[in-house]
Amino acid sequence: MTRTSPFHDIRACVFDAYGTLLDVNAAAARCRDALGDKAGPLAELWRAKQLQYTWLSSLMGRHRDFYEITAMALDFAMDTLDLHARDLRDKLMALYEILDAYPEVPGMLDTLNRAGMKTAILSNGSPKMLATAVQAAGLENSLNEVISIEDAGIYKPSPSVYQLAVDQLGVAREHICFVSSNGWDATGAAAFGFQVAWVNRSGQKPETLGFPPKAEIKDLTGLAGLVLPTP
């Protein structure tokens, strides 16, 4: 873990969902028997195109919800990899709605909750997708709010999306720790004014656009130690 500066007076922790709390590679991994050596490339291309489509949708002013974008991204990835089985496509989409939580997530949320910290998801996911995913991962009783960008009608990193967390939690931006595994999301949240922890699960290089996170962590195990007051 690399600390860049200390966190101050954190009153809420707000989490990105996909890739931060939920393993976006889990759907392809569960279909490895059918995908073979294409499982890894499919998961990577599917995720990359999914994110690209959110940004394009926002910039074009042609909003589509995250389920539609996820399906279109999967179609692109499967076509690129010459995978044309409709039943496999349907299975992958169904599995994406019930992704596994990373193993340290339940314990981390429990620690924050027992300390009285507000916790929430702020995600590109549509409300229905998030409700299904949170329940499947067993996290429905561990979060104060599950917030979808659909209330803003535009995707992250639009400032109007990050403002949703401020409004719904009733906590000023400077007192919110935003947590994401996506470097671009961490940058956007820091630019907005959140105190940011970047969960660099895959060992990526940091973004160079400015607005760095306060902390870089390998997983969520040590988050509580960063944001909770020292006894």
The residues annotated with a catalytic role in the active site are 16
Cα 188 to the chain's mean position, in Å? 13
Helices (H), 1-98: 26-30, 32-35, 39-60, 66-80, 86-96
The C-alpha R_g of the chain, in whole angstroms, comes to 17
Distances (CA, A) of 178 to 61, 174, 211: 26, 10, 13
- 195 φ/ψ angles, rounded to the nearest 5 degrees: -85, 125
CA pair distance 61, 66, nearest whole angstrom = 15
Contacts 24+ apart (CB under 8 A), 134-138: 136/97, 136/98, 136/99, 137/21, 137/22, 137/98, 137/99, 137/100, 137/101, 137/105, 138/101, 138/106
Cα 59 to the chain's mean position, in Å? 20
CB atoms within 10 A of CB 208: 8
